[in-house]
Amino acid sequence: MPDQNGASVSPGLFDGVFARGQLVADDSAWLRAMLAAEAGLARALERAGVVPAGAGAAVTGIARAGELSAADRAEIAQASALTGNPVPGLARVLARKVTDPAARSAVHRGATSQDIVDTAVMLLARDAMDAALADLRAAADAAARLAEAHHGTLMIGRTLLQQAVPVTFGVVAAGWLAGLDSAIEWLAFVRDTRLAVQFGGAAGTLASLGDDGGRVKALLAEELGLGDPPLPWHTERLRIIDVGTTAARACAALSKIARDVTLLAQTEVREVAEGSPDPGSSNTGGDRPRRGGSSAMPNKSNPVAAIAILGCAKQAPGLLATLVAAAEQEYQRAAGAWHAEWQPLGHLLQLTVSAAAWARDLLTNLEVDAQRMAANLARAGGLPLAERVTALLRESLGDPLAHELVAGAAARSAASGVPLRDVLLATPEFVQKLSEAGIGQAQVDEALDPAGYLGAADAFIAAALDAHAQG
Q: Which tens digit of pLDDT belongs to each residue from 304-362?
A: 999 999 999 999 999 999 999 999 999 999 999 999 999 999 999 999 999 999 999 99
Choosing from 333, 372, 394, 412, the catalytic residue is 333
Q: Average pLDDT for residues 152-178, to the nearest whole number?
A: 97
Query: What does the pLDDT read at residue 430?
Result: 86
CA distance 353 to 136: 9
Of 25, 22, 63, 20, the residue nearest 41 (C-alpha):
63
Query: What does the pLDDT read at residue 249?
Result: 98
pLDDT tens, position by position, 429-449 = 888 888 888 888 899 999 999
User: For the chain, what percent of residues have pLDDT higher than 90?
Assistant: 81
Query: What is the greatest pairwise CA distance in the chain?
Result: 102
**333 given a catalytic annotation:** yes
Q: Is the pLDDT of residue 23 over 90?
A: no
Q: CATH says 114-198+233-376 is which class?
A: mainly alpha
Q: How confident is the model at residue 287 (pLDDT cuts 50, 70, 90)?
A: low
Query: What does the pLDDT read at residue 290?
Result: 53
Query: What does the pLDDT read at residue 352?
Result: 98
Least reliable range by pLDDT among 256-265, 279-288, 370-379: 279-288
Using DSSP's 3-state secondary structure scheme, residue 2 falls into: strand
pLDDT tens, position by position, 211-246 = 999 999 999 999 999 999 999 999 999 999 999 999
Query: What does the pLDDT read at residue 435?
Result: 87
pLDDT tens, position by position, 98-113 = 999 999 999 999 999 9
Choosing from 64, 69, 288, 294, the catalytic residue is 294
Q: Is the pLDDT of residue 282 over 50?
A: no
Using DSSP's 3-state secondary structure scheme, residue 218 falls into: helix
Q: How confident is the model at residue 396 (pLDDT cuts 50, 70, 90)?
A: confident
What's the mean per-residue pLDDT of the chain? 92
Where do the domains of the chain lie?
Answer: 15-111, 114-198+233-376, 383-447
Q: CATH says 15-111 is which class?
A: mainly alpha
Show Cβ contacts of residue 185 under 8 Å, excluding neighbours closer than 6 positions: 471
Same fold yes or no, 15-111 and 114-198+233-376: no
For 321-348, b/e burial (b = at least 16 CB within 10 A) is ebbeebbebeeebbeebbebbbebbbbb
Q: How confident is the model at residue 398 (pLDDT cuts 50, 70, 90)?
A: confident
Q: How confident is the model at residue 285 (pLDDT cuts 50, 70, 90)?
A: very low
